[in-house]
A = this chain, B = another copy of it.
Amino acid sequence: MHNDSVTDIVFNILHSYKMAMRSTLKDHEAGLNGMNVKCLTFISKSQNCTANDIVIFFNRDKAQIARLIKEMITNGWLTKTANPEDKRSQLLQLTEQGKELAELIRVTELQIYEKMQENIPAEQLASFKSTALMISANLKAF
């Protein structure tokens, strides 16, 4: 069957990417799911991150995020500390273990990112990226 249109190829790229991430990360850390990866990365890149920041950025249900954070705290990846600027919310910070995990994720993503681009000239990649941006913009206008 198909697997030939631009859509299919783009779908394929993302699928392979996810598979690569999964297989690499699962070997190192059990109980690490997609949202964990996204949250750890997001928190490590933010300063003063709250649950609500995650809710907004990833456009998820706040109940889901509350439970995800609780789980990650249980896992010893995060801590919650009172937000001095707003007592309703709490600041999320990575523990040492959390930082190590975030670094592992960063390195893994980088490895995959480099593998993706192997043997493709820089100009060709630049052109790919600009076309991808055009496609993305077209789709958003749908």
Contacts and interface: CB of A to CB of B under 8 A. Distances in A.
Interface of A: 1-2, 5-7, 9-14, 16-17, 20, 42, 45-46, 57, 109, 112-113, 115-120, 124-125, 127-129, 131-136, 138-142
12 contacts: A1-B42, A2-B45, A6-B116, A6-B128, A7-B116, A9-B136, A13-B139, A115-B139, A116-B139, A117-B138, A119-B138, A128-B131
Q: How many copies of this kind of chain does the complex include?
A: 2
Given A9-B129, A115-B142, A135-B116, A14 B16 contact: no
Nearest to A20: B142
A8 to B, nearest CB: 10
